[in-house]
């Protein structure tokens, strides 16, 4: 076969899609419990949005974006993440003017990054993310983290840990940035090319480097928590206190910086130690960001959010057998006249809320029974010559194997009474 899906993309076939739907439904239900509303933003945006919002020193923007010109020569980009679009929509639609200051949104859908595909890493992947905008309070940081933890708990994921850290406010970050530069200045020749670039533009990102990850300078680097201002420290202490009060287990991980330009105060990740994921795989992460909405010409607004990779959640869940949803009725016509009746009946059944299918191939009984089985039909409805003549159908309940002749006008009533309590 000549055509293949582009590298790094995956077809989600029907045997997997019900697992996806269940996960998506769970995420929607938990969002409703947290009073978080869905926001759907475009799959592509002006490239400038990501340059501004995500920051052009990030790997995502500098190396991984699917950027192209449209027919009018405008540069557009397939979204590599969800926060920028939500923030743009929040400003453009003046959501900040809502008297309800705290606005909580979720998004779910495909994201695109030109990365080297690997276990749990794709070029088109899916994220579920949450943004809570408008209120800068440690309580909202905790609301966000508790929601993330609730999700992994509801999924029954084992071996996952909440890692948290604080980057503090602008003043703390400035002091920390200087300390990092002092730490790395004399050893720049030992670090990769990218780290050398990061040194001036955003030294925090050096700690995120995938190449120099194990360099001894990384573990001996100064820690953010030592550079927090008094008020940033109080913010972080309150976050830790609230998490403990709620009996949420967490680890303070001073190496966690999440280098995106806009993060401040709390940053967190949910990390899995499940061997299926590879050591220390991040299932999701997020944090507080303070400058983002202003960066997009909105009023000064604080936000906190997180994103989960849906594929990674599914890997962590394991390849549980997909118990395929069956249909209610498989309609089995024998002969041309019966087929005419069968299409009438399937249409009528669907209009009455039943799921059903029929044989379109004019096969014999044996082949049709096999299909009823493969579709996990609760009932097989046989329509032979006799039935056509008598205006009845022969209904077989597959679980009990009981069989009955039913007048056409009683089909719905029969099904309703036999499916009660389902």
Q: Which residues bind ligand AMP (CB under 6 A)?
A: 81, 113, 115, 120-122, 125, 127, 282-285, 307, 309, 311-312
Residue 312: CB minimum distance to ligand AMP, A: 4
For ligand AMP, which residue has the nearest CB?
Answer: 309
Please identify, using beta-carbon distances, which residue of 211 and 300 lies nearer to ligand AMP. 211
Q: What's the min distance (Å) between Cβ of 263 and ligand AMP?
A: 10
Q: How far is the CB of 386 from ligand AMP (least distance, A)?
A: 57
Whose Cβ is closer to ligand AMP: residue 287's or residue 298's? 287
CA 237, CA 229: separation in Å to the nearest integer? 12
State how far the alpha carbon of 332 is from the alpha carbons of 171, 262, 267, 304, 351, in Å: 74, 61, 59, 56, 19
Considering the complex, what minimum distance in angstroms separates the CB of residue 50 from ligand AMP?
12
Residue indicated by tokens 């906190």: 304
With contact defined as beta carbons under 8 Å apart, do 264 and 136 qualify? no
Report the Cα–Cα distance between both ends of the chain, in Å, rounded: 44
Closest distance between ligand AMP and the C-beta of residue 157, in Å?
12
Helix pair 193-201, 170-184: axis angle to 10 deg:
140
- When the beta carbons of 152 and 342 are compared against ligand AMP, the nearer one is 152
For 15, the token pair is 């045997």
Nearer Cβ to ligand AMP, position 227 or 263? 263
Residue 309 beta carbon to ligand AMP: minimum distance, rounded to whole angstroms: 2
Instruction: Match 């976050």 to its residue by tokens.
Output: 239
Residue placing its CB nearer to ligand AMP in the complex, 181 or 282: 282
**Closest CB 420 distance from ligand AMP, rounded Å:** 43
CA angle 214, 215, 218 (to 5 degrees): 95
* Residues forming a β-bridge with 403: 396
Nearest-angstrom CA–CA distance, 272 and 23: 18
Using the minimum distance from each CB to ligand AMP, give the nearer residue, 61 or 334. 61
Instruction: Please state, in angstroms and as integers, the Cα–Cα distance from residue 250 to each residue in 162, 224, 268, following that order.
Output: 5, 17, 10
In whole angstroms, give the CA distance from residue 306 to residue 286. Answer: 4
Q: Which is nearer to ligand AMP, 9 or 398 (CB)?
A: 9
State the nearest-atom distance from the C-beta of 201 to ligand AMP, in Å.
Answer: 19
Shortest Cβ distance from residue 212 to ligand AMP (Å)? 19
Q: 164 or 331: whose CB is closer to ligand AMP?
A: 164
Closer residue to ligand AMP, CB minimum distance, 261 or 387: 261
Contact 268, 162 (CB under 8 A): yes
Give every strand in the sheet of 44-46, ordered side by side.
44-46, 75-78, 66-69
CA distance 396 to 405: 9
DSSP 118: B
User: What beta strand segments (E) does 224-300 contain?
Assistant: 251-252, 263-272, 281-289
CA distance 62 to 67: 11
Distance CA 372, CA 395 (A): 12
Cβ proximity to ligand AMP: between 284 and 298 the closer is 284
Report how far residue 134's alpha carbon sits from residue 148's, in angstroms, rounded to the nearest whole number: 19
The first and second tokens of residue 133, run together, are 């905008």
Nearest-approach distance from CB 3 to ligand AMP, in angstroms:
23
């Amino acid at each position: 076969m000549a055509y293949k899906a582009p590298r790094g993309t995956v077809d989600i076939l029907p045997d997997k899609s019900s697992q996806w739907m269940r996960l998506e439904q769970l995420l929607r239900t938990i969002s409703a419990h947290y009073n978080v509303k869905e926001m759907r933003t475009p799959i592509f945006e002006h490239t400038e949005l990501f340059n501004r919002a995500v920051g052009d020193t990030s790997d995502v923007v500098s190396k991984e974006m699917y950027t192209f010109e449209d027919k009018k020569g405008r540069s557009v980009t397939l979204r590599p993440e969800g926060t920028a679009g939500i923030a743009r929509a929040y400003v453009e639609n003046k959501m900040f003017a809502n008297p309800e200051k705290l606005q909580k949104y979720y998004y779910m859908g495909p994201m695109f990054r030109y990365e080297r595909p690997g276990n749990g890493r794709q070029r088109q992947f899916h994220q579920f993310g949450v943004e809570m905008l408008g209120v800068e309070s440690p309580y909202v940081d905790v609301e966000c983290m508790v929601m993330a933890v609730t999700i992994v708990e509801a999924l029954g994921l084992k071996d996952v840990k909440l890692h948290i850290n604080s980057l503090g406010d602008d003043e703390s970050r400035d002091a920390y940035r200087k300390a990092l530069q002092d730490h790395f200045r004399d050893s720049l020749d030992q670090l990769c090319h990218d780290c050398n670039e990061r040194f001036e533009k955003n030294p925090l990102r050096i700690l995120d480097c995938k190449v120099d990850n194990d360099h001894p300078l990384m573990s001996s680097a100064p820690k953010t928590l030592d550079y927090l201002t008094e008020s940033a420290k109080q913010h972080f202490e309150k976050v830790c206190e609230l998490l403990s009060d709620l009996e949420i287990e967490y680890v303070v991980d001073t190496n966690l910086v999440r280098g995106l330009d806009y993060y401040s105060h709390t940053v967190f990740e949910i990390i899995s130690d499940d061997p299926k994921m590879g050591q220390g795989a991040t299932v999701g992460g997020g944090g507080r960001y303070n400058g983002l909405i202003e960066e997009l010409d909105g009023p000064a607004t604080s936000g906190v959010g997180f994103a989960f990779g849906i594929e990674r959640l599914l890997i962590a869940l394991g390849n549980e057998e997909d118990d395929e949803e069956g249909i209610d009725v498989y309609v089995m016509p024998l002969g041309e006249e019966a087929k005419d009746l069968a299409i009438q009946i399937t249409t009528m059944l669907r209009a009455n809320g039943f799921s059903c299918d029929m044989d379109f191939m004019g096969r014999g009984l044996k082949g049709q029974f096999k299909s009823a089985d493969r579709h996990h039909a609760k009932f097989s409805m046989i329509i032979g010559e006799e039935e056509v003549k008598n205006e009845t159908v022969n209904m077989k309940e597959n679980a009990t194997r009981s069989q009955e002749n039913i007048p056409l006008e009683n089909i719905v009533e029969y099904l309703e009474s036999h499916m009660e309590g389902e």
